Amino acid sequence: MMTISIPLILTTISGLSTMLGSILIFFKFKNINKLLSFSLMFSATIMFGISITDLIPNAYNYFSKFYTIKFLILVILLGIFITFILDNYMNTNNKLKNNNNLYKIGIFSMIAIIIHNLPEGIITFMSSYKNINLGLSLTIAIACHNIPEGISLSLPIYYGTHSRKKALIYTFISGLSEPIGGLLIFLIFKNYLNDFILNFILLVVAGMMIYLSIVKLIPEAIKQKYPKNILLSFLIALIILLII
pTM over 0.85: no
Number of separate domains in the chain? 1
| Alpha-carbon torsion (106, 112, 115, 117), positive or negative | negative
pLDDT at residue number 94: 41
What is the pLDDT confidence band of residue 97, given thresholds at 50, 70 and 90? Answer: very low
Asked if the structure places residue 1 within a domain, the reply is no
pLDDT in tens, 161-181: 888 998 999 999 988 988 887
Asked if the structure places residue 215 within a domain, the reply is yes
Q: How many helices (H) and strands (E) does the chain have?
A: 10, 0
First to last CA, the chain: 32
Q: What angle do CA 234, 240, 244 make, to 5 degrees?
A: 145
Asked if the structure places residue 164 within a domain, the reply is yes
Asked if the structure places residue 200 within a domain, the reply is yes
Q: How far is CA 191 from CA 116, 180, 183, 187, 194, in A?
A: 21, 18, 13, 9, 9
Asked if the structure places residue 72 within a domain, the reply is yes
Asked if the structure places residue 37 within a domain, the reply is yes
Please determine, for residue 191, whether its predicted confidence score (pLDDT) is greater than 80.
Answer: no
Categorise residue 156: left if φ over 0, alpha if ψ from -120 to 50, beta otherwise: alpha
Instruction: Give 135: exposed, middle or buried? Use CB within 10 Å, 0-12, 13-18, 19+.
Output: buried
| Residue 206 near residue 74, CB atoms below 8 Å | no
Q: What is the mean pLDDT of the chain?
A: 81
Asked if the structure places residue 130 within a domain, the reply is yes
What number is the average pLDDT over the span 104-122?
78
Distance CA 80, CA 97 (A): 21
Asked if the structure places residue 26 within a domain, the reply is no
Q: What percent of the chain has pLDDT over 90?
A: 11
| Residue 243 near residue 50, CB atoms below 8 Å | no
Domain that holds residue 50: 6-21+31-243
Distance CA 136, CA 126 (A): 12
Distance CA 164, CA 184 (A): 29
Distance CA 199, CA 78 (A): 14
What is the pLDDT confidence band of residue 76, given thresholds at 50, 70 and 90? Answer: very high
pLDDT at residue number 1: 42
Please determine, for residue 92, whether its predicted confidence score (pLDDT) is greater than 60.
Answer: no
